[in-house]
Every structure is written in C-alpha cells, then in structure tokens.
C-alpha cells in the first residue's frame, strides 16, 4: 500500500516537472524582443525632382512614407510575433517630429510601441548606426531587423555598421527568416542560388524584397495605433557624434534619353553604330 502511494506521488511529481519544463521552454521561446529601425523617405510612387539650386531633391509638399525595405522588416517582425516566437516588437526612427507618421504606420501594422529619436541634423549611415547602437544597449533586444537599404540614398550600410559596432552576427539581404532554438536561420539569395546562414542571438538581419509582402493597413488598426506608446527622446542625450562625414556637392537629374529610331536593314544599322554611335 505504501509502495503504491509512493509510486502515485512520484508519478505526480514527474507530471508536474514535465509540465514545468514544457512551460519553461514555451516562455523561453517567446521572450525575444525585436527592434525594427524605420526611415521616412519620399514615397516610391513619387517622381523625384531636383530642387532649384541643385543642392538636393525637392521634398516640400511631396508625399513621404516608410522606406519599403523597412516596411518589409516591420511585417516580418509582426509575423514572428503572431507565430508566437516574439514577445514584443519595438520600432524606432530618427529625425524630426514629422517622422511620427511612419511610426504610427508601423504601430498600425502590429508593432507594440515606438521610439522617436528627435534630431534636426542630417543623419548619415554611420551616425544612424551609432545612435541605434546606444538604443540597442538601452532596450536589450535579441534581434534587430531593418531594411537592407533606404531608397533615398541607397547606401546599404546601416545594418552592417550596426552589427559591427555591437559585435553581433549579421544576416544580410534576407529572403527567409526562421527563429530556431537560440538562434536564427537567414536564407539569402546569392549568384549561385540560395545560401542559408545560422546566427546565434543576438543578431542583426537586413531584409530583401522577396522576404514577404507587407500587409494592407486597415482604418481600424490605424485608429488603434493612436493609443499605442510613442516615446520621444533627444538624439543629443546619447552623446553621439552625428556630424556628417560626407558632403553633397551637387545633385543633377539624369540626362534625357533620346528617342529611338528604326532602320530599314542591317547595313543601315551597322552604318549608324559605326558612324553615329561609334560603338563598333
């Protein structure tokens, strides 16, 4: 009778231990915080025009939106959260107060909260990486996902610089992201096909176009986003040197392409290529 009682007790203890172990593994699997930096740029549907003094592009009264690659990064982070693999998605942007609109868009897509690093100066990739480094040290995310490049300067530098400053592994140009135990698998498109790298967390991932298709933001979600936290901080309080390292001398529109012509025969084509185009 006593032996039977002890067996019953041990069985219950094993069940409880197994239950606690499963619960611990579940909790461990959803404690990952993801930080997603986003940038406000001229909308990709807008035809970019050079301003009158050739110092840059015209931004007055021009539609602005979230950088498309960053939008893909937000979508991926939200999908990971919906899959139960991420506990919190935090979006961050650097710039003037007008940047709030892209942060609200990210919140409407499903991010939990947002941070605006207020700054009036021009922010180049190295300065952005240094500010993000300070914010990462403050927020302690396990994963940073950002677009591989911004469509305004096409620098393709911030993600790599951030990983270097943090000393984290990096997976660039991601077309597939999978969170696994203690790490992340990043599939990249390369010349020979697909390459998959495994990174230990924490890590930095930059997104490519074929990673996902961002969701359409419905009006109810836009209204709900207004109630989500948007924290404003001054970039100056981090003590980072954000002075531009590069100076734009002049910006010009590309030359207008000449209209094509038709030729009647091969001899005429060869003649024009030799005497007019001077390519043969």
pLDDT tens digits, one per residue of 35-46: 999 999 999 988
d(CA 215, CA 204): 23
| pLDDT band, residue 16 (cuts 50/70/90) | very low
Is the confidence at residue 19, as pLDDT, over 70?
Answer: no
C-alpha to C-alpha distances, 190 to 49, 144, 163, 184, nearest whole angstrom? 33, 22, 20, 19
| pLDDT band, residue 95 (cuts 50/70/90) | very high
Report if residue 243 sits inside a domain: no
Tokens describing residue 202: 């924490």
Q: Are 94 and 14 part of one and the same domain?
A: no
| pLDDT tens sequence across 123-163 | 999 999 999 999 999 999 999 999 999 999 899 999 999 99
Q: Are 22 and 62 part of one and the same domain?
A: no
SS3 state of residue 31: coil
Q: Are 171 and 67 part of one and the same domain?
A: yes
Q: Are 85 and 182 part of one and the same domain?
A: yes
Which pLDDT belongs to residue 24? 41
Residue 196, φ and ψ in degrees, nearest 5: -115, 125
pTM: 0.80
Bridge partners (DSSP) of residue 197 are: 186
Task: Determine contact, residues 202/167, Cβ cutoff 8 Å.
Answer: no
Is the confidence at residue 88, as pLDDT, over 50?
Answer: yes
Rg of the chain over Cα atoms, rounded to whole angstroms, equals 25
| pLDDT tens sequence across 64-80 | 999 999 999 999 999 99
Count of structural domains within the chain = 2
Report if residue 251 sits inside a domain: no
Q: Are 215 and 77 part of one and the same domain?
A: yes
Task: Determine contact, residues 198/82, Cβ cutoff 8 Å.
Answer: no
Q: How many CA atoms lie within 13 A of 158 on its CB side?
A: 31
Report if residue 276 sits inside a domain: no
Q: What CATH number is associated with residue 176? A: 3.40.50.620
Q: Are 95 and 4 part of one and the same domain?
A: no
Higher-confidence position of 255 and 24: 255
Report if residue 194 sits inside a domain: yes
Give the count of beta carbons closer than 10 Å to the beta carbon of residue 214: 18
Is the confidence at residue 17, as pLDDT, over 80?
Answer: no
User: Which are the contacts of 77, defined by CB distance < 8 A and separation ≥ 6?
Assistant: 34, 36, 86, 89, 111, 145
SS3 state of residue 118: strand
The mean pLDDT of the chain is 87
Q: Are 88 and 152 part of one and the same domain?
A: yes
| pLDDT band, residue 1 (cuts 50/70/90) | low
d(CA 229, CA 213): 26
Which pLDDT belongs to residue 9? 44
Over residues 197-225, mean pLDDT: 93
SS3 state of residue 114: strand
| pLDDT band, residue 21 (cuts 50/70/90) | very low
Is the confidence at residue 251, as pLDDT, over 80?
Answer: yes
Q: Are 106 and 223 part of one and the same domain?
A: yes
Q: Which range of residues forms the domain containing residue 8?
A: 1-27
Which pLDDT belongs to residue 22? 43
Q: Are 10 and 101 part of one and the same domain?
A: no
Choose the weakest-confidence range: 134-143, 208-217, 240-249.
240-249
Bridge partners (DSSP) of residue 174 are: 188, 207
SS3 state of residue 108: helix
Over residues 88-101, mean pLDDT: 94
Report if residue 110 sits inside a domain: yes
Task: Determine contact, residues 95/40, Cβ cutoff 8 Å.
Answer: yes
| pLDDT band, residue 12 (cuts 50/70/90) | low
Report if residue 60 sits inside a domain: yes
Report if residue 108 sits inside a domain: yes
Q: How many CA atoms lie within 13 A of 114 on its CB side?
A: 27
Number of helical H runs and strand E runs in the chain: 7, 11
Q: Are 230 and 157 part of one and the same domain?
A: yes
- For the purposes of burial, counting CB atoms within 10 Å of the CB of 197, is it exposed (0-12), middle (13-18) or buried (19 or more)? middle
Q: Are 46 and 104 part of one and the same domain?
A: yes
Is the confidence at residue 197, as pLDDT, over 70?
Answer: yes
Q: Are 167 and 135 part of one and the same domain?
A: yes
Report if residue 6 sits inside a domain: yes
Task: Determine contact, residues 77/36, Cβ cutoff 8 Å.
Answer: yes
Which pLDDT belongs to residue 212? 95
Is the confidence at residue 89, as pLDDT, over 90?
Answer: yes
């Amino acid at each position: 009778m006593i032996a039977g009682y002890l067996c019953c007790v041990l069985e219950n203890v094993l069940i409880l231990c197994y239950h606690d172990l499963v619960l611990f593994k579940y909790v461990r699997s959803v404690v990952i915080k993801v930080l997603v930096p986003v940038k406000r740029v001229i909308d990709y549907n807008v035809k970019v025009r050079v301003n009158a003094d050739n110092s840059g592009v015209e931004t007055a009264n021009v539609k602005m939106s979230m950088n498309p690659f960053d939008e893909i990064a937000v979508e991926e982070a939200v999908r990971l959260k919906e899959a139960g693999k991420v506990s919190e998605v935090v979006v961050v942007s650097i710039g003037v107060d007008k940047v709030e609109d892209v942060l609200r868009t990210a919140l409407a897509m499903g991010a939990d909260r947002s941070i605006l690093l207020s700054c009036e100066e021009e922010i180049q990739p190295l300065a952005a990486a240094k500010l993000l480094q300070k914010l990462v040290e403050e927020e302690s995310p396990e994963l940073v996902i950002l677009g591989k490049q911004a469509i305004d300067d096409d620098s393709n530098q911030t993600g790599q610089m951030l990983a270097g400053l943090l000393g984290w592994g990096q997976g660039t140009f991601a077309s597939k992201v999978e969170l696994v135990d203690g790490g992340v698998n990043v599939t990249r498109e390369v010349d020979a096909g697909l390459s998959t790298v495994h990174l230990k967390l924490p890590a930095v991932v930059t997104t490519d176009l074929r990673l996902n298709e961002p969701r359409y933001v419905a009006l109810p979600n836009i209204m709900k986003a207004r109630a989500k936290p948007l924290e404003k901080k001054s970039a100056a309080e981090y003590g980072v040197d954000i002075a531009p390292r590069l100076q734009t001398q002049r910006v010009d529109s590309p030359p207008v392409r000449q209209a094509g012509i038709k030729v009647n025969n091969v001899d005429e084509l060869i003649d024009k290529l030799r005497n007019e185009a001077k390519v043969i």
